[in-house]
Structure 1
C-alpha cells in the first residue's frame, strides 16, 4: 500500500470521485488506466517548481504511449511540497482509457481550479 501525504490522499480521493461520476460507477478507479497528455500554455508564467517538473518528470519520452494506474498518477502529478497541476481535464478515450489533459503549472491545493466541482483540479470533458 502506498503511503501518501494528506494532500495526496485528497488528490486521489478527487480522482476517484471524478472517475466514479464519469464512468457511472462501471469502472473502479483501481482498475482504471490513465493516459497523461501534457498541455503547453504559452505566455503563462512558470515557477521554479513548474520548471523542475517539466525538466525532470515531464519529458515526452516518459509518457509517450504509456498508460498508468491511479497510484502512479498520484505519484507522477505530485510536485515537491505537495503541489499539483493547476487543472486537469478528463475524458474517456475510445479505448476506454481515461485521458488526463494536464496543466504543466503546479500550485498549492487551495489555488487549484475547479474548486466548485468538489473534486479540484479535475474537470469533466465529454
Structure 2
C-alpha cells in the first residue's frame, strides 16, 4: 500500500481596519497563499473565522461585523476557484479575542488542512 502523506496545515491571519470588512491590498497575498495551498492539496478544507475587537462596538454589532469579515474572505476564496464545499465560515464577534493586542482582533483567521 502507498504510504499516506500527511499534509501540514497552513494558517493565515487577515487583518482589517476598524469597522471594516474590506480586504486591504496588503492582505491579499495571504488569501493567495491559502488559494495556492488549496489548489496543491485538493483534499484540503479551510476554516475561515472572523473576529472583532472588544474595545469598539456592541457585542451584537461585532458579531455581524465578524461574520461580514469571514464572508469577505470566503468570497475571495470562492472567486479564486475554491469550491464552496471546501470552505467553512463563521464569525465569533468579540466573544473570543485570539490576540492580546486589541487592534489585532480585527481579524479573520484561516486554517487550511
When the two structures are superposed, what TM-score results if normalisation uses the length of structure 2? 0.34
Q: Which has the higher contact order (CA 8 A, sep 6+)?
A: 2
Which structure: larger Rg? 2
